């Protein structure tokens, strides 16, 4: 796993358990990366939070591709969307364990217009 993915995965675990208040230094330490690596991939904790939420909760690119496929019927699109999102939730449980409190991470989304729009 590359440094960016390790940072995102670690941030997900910490955001889910501690909320947005987790510090960059803790993310860096637990992801076993450097501060330089963090800032190489992310301008700020805000950007990391947005990318983490997007990656693990919205799957926007995959969802858009499925919805735009004219060759699929409505029911096929729904089935694929449910399957894709179920796989995502399964992966989340694998990363964070069975004790995920989604409210912890989503309680911070109010501060991000981009997330409210999605």
> Looking at residue 6, what is its pLDDT?
95
pLDDT band at 35; cut points 50, 70, 90: very high
State pLDDT tens for residues 9-33.
999 888 888 888 899 999 999 999 9
What are the contacts of 34-43 at 24+ separation with CB within 8 A? Answer: 37/3, 37/7, 38/7, 40/3, 41/3, 41/4, 41/7, 42/7
State pLDDT tens for residues 94-114.
777 656 665 666 666 667 676
0.75 surpassed by pTM = no
pLDDT > 70 fraction of the chain, expressed in percent and rounded: 74
């Amino acid at each position: 796993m590359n440094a960016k993915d390790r940072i995102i995965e670690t941030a997900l675990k910490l955001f889910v358990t501690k909320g947005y208040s987790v510090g960059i230094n803790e993310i860096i330490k637990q992801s076993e990366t450097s501060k330089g690596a963090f800032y190489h991939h992310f301008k700020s904790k805000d950007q990391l939070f947005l990318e983490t939420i997007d990656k693990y909760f919205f799957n926007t690119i995959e969802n858009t591709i499925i919805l735009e496929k004219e060759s699929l019927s409505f029911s096929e699109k729904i089935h694929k969307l449910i399957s894709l999102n179920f796989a995502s939730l399964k992966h989340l449980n694998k990363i964070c364990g069975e004790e995920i409190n989604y409210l912890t991470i989503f309680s911070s989304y109010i501060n991000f217009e981009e997330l409210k729009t999605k």
